[in-house]
Amino acid sequence: MPQSPDSVLKSLRNKEYAPVYFLQGDEPYYIDRIADFIEENVLSESEQGFNQMVMYGKDVDVSTILNNAKRYPMMSDRQVVIVREAQEVADLNNKGGQQQMEAYLKNPMPSTILVFCYKYKSFDGRKALGKLLDKLAVLVESKKMYDNQLPEWIALYVKNKGHHIDDKAVQMLADYIGNNLERLTNEIEKVLINFRKEDEEGKITPAVIQKYIGISKEYNVFELQKALAVKDVLKANRILRYFEANQKANPIIPVIALLFTFFSKLLLVHQAADKSERGLAAVLKINPFFAREYKVASVNYPLPRVIRNIHYLRIADQHAKGIDNTGGTDAQILKELIFKLMH
More confident residue, 176 or 323: 323
Residues 6+ apart with CB under 8 A from 336: 316, 328
Q: Which residues pair with 118 in a beta bridge?
A: 24
Residues 6+ apart with CB under 8 A from 148: 284, 285, 286
Residues 106-133, mean pLDDT to the nearest whole number: 96
Task: Please tell me the class of the 5-141 domain.
Answer: alpha beta
Checking if the pLDDT of 98 tops 90, the result is: yes
Indicate if the alpha-carbon torsion angle 224, 229, 233, 235 is positive or negative: negative
**Domain residue ranges in the chain:** 5-141, 147-213, 221-342
Residues 40-44, mean pLDDT to the nearest whole number: 96
Mean pLDDT of the chain: 92
The predicted structure's pLDDT at residue 289: 79
Model confidence pLDDT, tens digit, residues 282-336: 888 887 878 889 999 999 999 999 999 999 999 999 999 989 887 789 999 999 9
The predicted structure's pLDDT at residue 286: 81
The predicted structure's pLDDT at residue 89: 96
**Rg, the chain, Cα only:** 25
Confidence of residue 260 (pLDDT cuts 50, 70, 90): very high
Model confidence pLDDT, tens digit, residues 185-238: 999 998 988 887 656 567 898 888 888 887 777 788 889 999 999 999 999 998
The predicted structure's pLDDT at residue 197: 62
CB burial of residue 93 (10 Å; 0-12, 13-18, 19+): middle
Which CATH code, of 3.40.50.10320, 1.10.8.60, 1.10.357.140, 3.40.50.300, is assigned to 147-213? 1.10.8.60
Percentage of the chain lying above the pLDDT 90 cut = 69
Residues 124-152, mean pLDDT to the nearest whole number: 92
Distance of CA 129 to CAs 34, 56, 105, 299, Å? 22, 21, 9, 55
CA–CA separation, 125 and 134 (whole Å): 8
The predicted structure's pLDDT at residue 198: 53
The predicted structure's pLDDT at residue 148: 80
CA–CA separation, 266 and 297 (whole Å): 8
Q: Model-level pTM greater than 0.95? A: no
The predicted structure's pLDDT at residue 284: 87
Residues 6+ apart with CB under 8 A from 231: 300, 342
DSSP string over 194-248: H--TTGGGGEE-HHHHHHHHT--SSSSHHHHHHHHHHT-HHHHHHHHHHHHHTTT
More confident residue, 89 or 178: 89
Residue 326, phi then psi, degrees to nearest 5: -90, 15
User: What count of other Cβ atoms lies within 10 Å of the Cβ of residue 136?
Assistant: 18
Model confidence pLDDT, tens digit, residues 267-284: 999 999 998 888 988 888
CATH 1.20.272.10 for domain 221-342: yes
The predicted structure's pLDDT at residue 232: 94
* Cα 169–Cα 270–Cα 310 angle in degrees, nearest 5: 75
Residue 119, phi then psi, degrees to nearest 5: -90, 155
